[in-house]
Amino acid sequence: MTGVRDLPGSRTPPRTGGWRDGDPAGDRLFLDLDGPVRLERGGVLPGVRVAYETWGTLAPDGGNAVLVEHALTGDSHVTGPAGPGHPTPGWWASLVGPGAPLDTDRLFVVCANVLGGCQGTTGPSSTAPDGSPWGPRFPEVTVGDQVLVEAALADALGVRRWAAVVGGSMGGMRALEWAVALPERVAGLFFLASGAAVTADQLGTQTTQQAAIRADPAAGLGVARRIAHLTYRSALELEERFGATVQDDGRFAVASYLEHHADKLTRRFDAGSYLVLTEAMNTWDVGRGRGGVEAALARVSARAVVAGVDSDRLYPLDLQQRVADGLGVPLRVITSPYGHDGFLIEADAVGALVRELLGT
């Protein structure tokens, strides 16, 4: 059971769909960080557990390590089948493995569940020091906090400098934060389908999703997912796939499709984590405290590939263009009818850009 952050009067928390202690670990490994972990917004965690997965073998000098950053509802399971402990198969499976763009015959690939998440890393559904779930007491975290926890994981693994940090969407935020906050530790940056700071449009959709959860934690997560999924796909794709078709059960086909994705998420995710992570996205600004976005981007020393999806209406190309301009590199455009989700679906195009970054 877990609570939901900032839900006044909530006494009986809804059941979480996230991973819990006692569930099968699957391919997860765990690192416990001794506290206190002091957070950017003033909160303190007495300790943090990080769930992560690795593929390949770390070179003696630690120089072949690549960090993959997952998006909002992703987790550490980048590749591998569904099974005990893993409700879904790997979310970027074609990118990681022997001979893949992230070739595990020569690279050591790492992916960690994000701080505030619900798939093994400390978050709202985790147990607090008093023995009950953190729930609405879980402190606010920022993208910067999440990266500092990942840096502690890198230290524990013996990785002083990543050959590359790779991420799309919310994962792109952490990838960029790594390259700006810790430039000496990032040799290569792949920034995909993301932005350097939150926009009013993103704030509008994300705060509306949060309102749905706060109004009804049990049903609200599904509503939030339906709202979000509309921003993940393009209007053209939805029109071509569904139009105004009505199914035999009387439902619009597009509504049935959204309900399907909502049901899938509620079975594997936690409402409290959804609030914490979208709030981290709401406060995202790589230029905060650094003299603005352009000044922050000037700190990056990594080789960089910046890419976006031409039909993305959540993170449109002008957001990636700003980052590309700030880093002095060309914007690479992925053509796709799938909107924002193209960064996950267009595996061949994404893989080619990863190979380009790594020189393979």
User: Is 336 noted as a catalytic residue in this protein?
Assistant: no
Tokens 């690479």 map to which residue? Answer: 332
Query: Closest by alpha carbon to 174, among 279, 69, 95, 309?
Result: 69
CA distances to 8, 30, 238, 266 from 260, rounded to whole Å, are 29, 32, 15, 10
Strand partners, 32: 49
Distance of alpha carbon 257 from alpha carbon 42, whole angstroms: 41
Which token pair is 59? 């070179």
Secondary structure of residue 55 in the 3-state scheme = strand
Query: Closest by alpha carbon to 106, among 186, 179, 184, 163?
Result: 163
Strands 303-309, 331-334: pairing kind: parallel
Annotated active-site residue in 169, 194, 273, 336:
169
- One-letter identity of residue 134: W
| DSSP per-residue string spanning 216-245 | -HHHHHHHHHHHHHHHHS-HHHHHHHTTT-
Are 45 and 122 in contact by the 8 Å Cβ rule? The answer is yes
Distance of alpha carbon 18 from alpha carbon 124, whole angstroms: 10
User: Is 169 noted as a catalytic residue in this protein?
Assistant: yes
Look up residue 184 and give its DSSP letter.
G
Query: Closest by alpha carbon to 169, among 213, 114, 239, 87?
Result: 114
Residue 341 annotated in ligand binding: yes
User: Which parts are annotated binding residues for substrate?
Assistant: 225, 341
The residues carrying an active-site annotation are: 169, 312, 340
